[in-house]
Amino acid sequence: MKKSEKREANTSGHLPVAASWRRRTMLIFLYKFFWRAILGVVIGLRYLGVKKEQHDGPVIYIANHNSHLDAIAMMTVVPRHRLHLTHSVAAQDFFGNSFFRKWSMENLVNAVLISRKRGDQEVDPIEFLDGLLQAGRSLILFPEGTRGVPGSMGDFKRGVGHLASRHPGIPVIPIYLDGLYRNLPKGRAMIVPFGGNLIMGDPLVFSNEDLNEITARTQEAIEKMAQDLSDSNQI
């Protein structure tokens, strides 16, 4: 185990703490049993296209973003042996403004908190996330940058393009999340069972594309999944 993996997670360039067997077991229970049951059975979320066999190494998962349930839903499709090595990227200014939120995100969601304000961190967030990928970690990104208007998708920011262009060969897995904003609306704390869909697309692997092309292709992939779902619902 590398010494750097024992350091605390923050945007000063340190890697998250290496997971103990207790933490690994907790994450498996939370996402493969507890949350999978809540989302699949209680809420009625349908899992479509989820691959049993996924890349056994670092992956960049990307999805549209409308609900605080999004990161939790994404974690439920990560292979169990990679859960402790997979980090959702969340906003420091929102989730880091109280001890409980910060502790919950870092320990229960396995997230890393990134400032959305320039100049607030010692290290460029892209450099920090780049270091995680180099260390064999996987990332969950919401390229819109924030929860958008319920039921619609905003333009992707270029963070996914920066990271994928620096790591040719690392799969970018697009996921379309449909309806989770109804299950946990913005500003609400209670989950309601309105159903929904989690659709996993085929991995995108880039080689020498520039960051703008990568950003455009990843957004197009998720937009196509959304359109295909809409078309199938009209049949």
Residue 54, domain CATH? 3.40.1130.10
| 42-68 per-position pLDDT tens digit | 999 999 999 888 889 999 999 999 888
Residue 9 confidence (pLDDT) above 50:
no
| 88-141 per-position pLDDT tens digit | 999 888 787 888 989 999 999 999 998 876 655 567 899 999 999 999 999 999
Q: Which domain holds residue 98?
A: 7-233
Residue 235 confidence (pLDDT) above 80:
no
Structure tokens at 174: 């697009």
CB atoms within 10 A of CB 41: 10
- The pTM assigned to this predicted structure is 0.89
In this structure, is residue 1 part of a structural domain? Answer: no
Count of domains in the chain? 1
Instruction: Considering only CA atoms, give the Rg of the chain.
Output: 17
**Strand boundaries in the chain, DSSP class E:** 45-48, 60-63, 86-91, 112-114, 138-141, 172-178, 196-200
Q: What are phi and psi of 120, to 5 degrees?
A: -90, -5
d(C-alpha 84, C-alpha 162), whole Å: 24
In this structure, is residue 135 part of a structural domain? Answer: yes
d(C-alpha 91, C-alpha 101), whole Å: 11
SS3 content of the chain, % helix, strand, coil (to 5): 40, 15, 45
In this structure, is residue 2 part of a structural domain? Answer: no
